[in-house]
């Protein structure tokens, strides 16, 4: 028997569709506008009123960005940093989360308290700088990896997920002679893809966008600069040049304004994450919802 909607129900549905369309448009339009500005001729973009289509289409802004000889090396550093940090952080945070999820672990509450305190109390910038220096991580690629290997928030999300797994999985594995590390790697991780994808997305976005630690610890070694730091320097250079009328008049066809360069750089650094997100989205939503459920 086919159910026929009443006029009131159809009206409510259409209102919901319009509301969702408005929310989607509000979310997407800033990104669309940045793309339009980045594809528009720079001096013309200063006139404003760019909405959905570039008035004077050009690839000049992207050419300016990718002609920078140091960007390729910085991109490689950022990719390596993101991949290595994501893999190690997910594995080690999950290992700690698995231990804390075990009810037979005597110090689980004490360790949990320490992690909670670490989320709200920081040692401060100067003590952290001195710690990094004393550990010999200054001017080293590993300064991007080691300090952020384990995050308290990530541990708690994974612990909640692991706590909801059947205890029989671990008990039967123990009976078969498997130790905890084997159980974690061979049983827990393979059935925890939702929470793993969720934490991997959190970590990868954070690491891809990070640049301040580069400024603090590796600014003297240009070979270790990450993409975000180089782009910050590029924006600053363009801003300084725009403030000088003499520099602006060198080549009228090569004028790059801060407005267009910022839009272009935003597109450049956002697209890689946008390409990764669709592959993790289904796990991302499932991981967050399962982490909020109780048995």
Q: pLDDT tens string for the chain (295 positions)?
A: 566 777 777 888 889 999 999 998 888 888 888 888 888 887 777 777 777 888 888 888 888 777 777 778 888 898 899 999 999 999 999 999 999 988 888 888 898 898 888 888 887 888 889 999 898 888 889 999 998 899 889 999 899 888 888 878 888 888 888 888 888 888 888 888 888 888 888 898 889 888 888 988 988 888 888 888 887 787 777 666 655 544 444 444 455 677 777 788 788 878 777 777 776 666 655 555 554 444 4
Contact 141, 222 (CB under 8 A): no
- Burial environment of residue 110 by CB neighbours within 10 A (0 to 12, 13 to 18, 19 or more): exposed
Q: Residue 230 half-sphere exposure, CB side, CA atoms within 13 Å?
A: 24
- Is residue 100 within 8 A of residue 111, CB to CB? The reply is yes
The reported pLDDT for the residue numbered 96 is 92
Homologous superfamily of 59-291 in CATH?
MetI-like (1.10.3720.10)
Q: pTM of the entire structure?
A: 0.74
- Written as six digits, the tokens of 153 are 């928030």
Residue 38: Cβ-neighbour burial (10 angstroms; 0-12, 13-18, 19+): buried
Nearest to 116 by CA among 164, 159, 156: 156
Sign of the CA dihedral running 62, 68, 69, 73: negative
Q: How many CB atoms are located within 10 Å of the residue 155 CB?
A: 26
**67-95 per-residue burial string, b: 16 or more CB within 10 A, e: under 16:** eeeebebbbebbeebbeebbebbbeebbb
Interacting residues of 195 by C-beta distance below 8 A, sequence separation 6+: 157, 158, 161, 162, 287, 290, 291
Token pair of 262 as six digits: 């910022």
At residue 291, the pLDDT reads 46
**Rounded-to-integer distance, Cα 167 and Cα 201, Å:** 28
pLDDT at position 80 is 92
**40 has which bridge partners?**
57
Cα–Cα distance for residue pair 206/226, rounded to 1 Å: 13
**The predicted structure's pLDDT at residue 90:** 93
Coil, strand or helix at 67 = coil
pLDDT of residue 295: 41
Where in 133-242 does DSSP place strands (E)? none
């Amino acid at each position: 028997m086919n159910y026929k909607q009443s006029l009131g129900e159809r009206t409510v549905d259409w209102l919901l569709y319009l509301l969702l369309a408005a929310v989607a448009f509000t979310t997407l339009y800033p990104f669309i506008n940045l793309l339009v500005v980045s594809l528009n001729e720079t001096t013309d973009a200063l006139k404003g009123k760019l909405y959905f289509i570039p008035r004077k289409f050009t690839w000049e802004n992207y050419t300016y960005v990718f002609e920078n000889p140091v960007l390729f090396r910085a991109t490689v550093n950022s990719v390596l940093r993101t991949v290595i940090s994501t893999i190690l952080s997910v594995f080690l945070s999950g290992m700690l989360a698995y231990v804390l999820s075990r009810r037979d672990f005597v110090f689980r509450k004490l360790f949990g308290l320490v992690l909670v305190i670490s989320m709200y109390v920081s040692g401060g910038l100067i003590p952290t700088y001195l710690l990094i220096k004393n550990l010999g991580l200054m001017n080293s690629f590993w300064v991007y990896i080691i300090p952020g290997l384990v995050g308290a928030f990530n541990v708690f999300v994974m612990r909640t997920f692991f706590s909801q797994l059947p205890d029989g999985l671990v008990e039967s594995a123990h009976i078969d002679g498997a130790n905890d590390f084997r159980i974690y790697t061979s049983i827990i991780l393979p059935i925890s893809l939702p929470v793993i994808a969720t934490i991997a997305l959190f970590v990868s976005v954070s690491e891809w966008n990070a640049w301040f630690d580069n400024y603090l610890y590796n600014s003297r070694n240009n070979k270790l600069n990450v993409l975000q730091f180089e782009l910050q320097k590029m924006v600053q250079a363009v801003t300084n040049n725009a403030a000088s009328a003499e520099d602006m008049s060198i080549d009228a066809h090569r004028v790059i304004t801060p407005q267009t360069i910022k839009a272009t750089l935003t597109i450049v650094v956002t697209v890689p994450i946008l390409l990764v997100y669709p592959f993790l989205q289904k796990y991302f939503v499932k991981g967050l919802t399962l982490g909020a459920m109780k048995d």
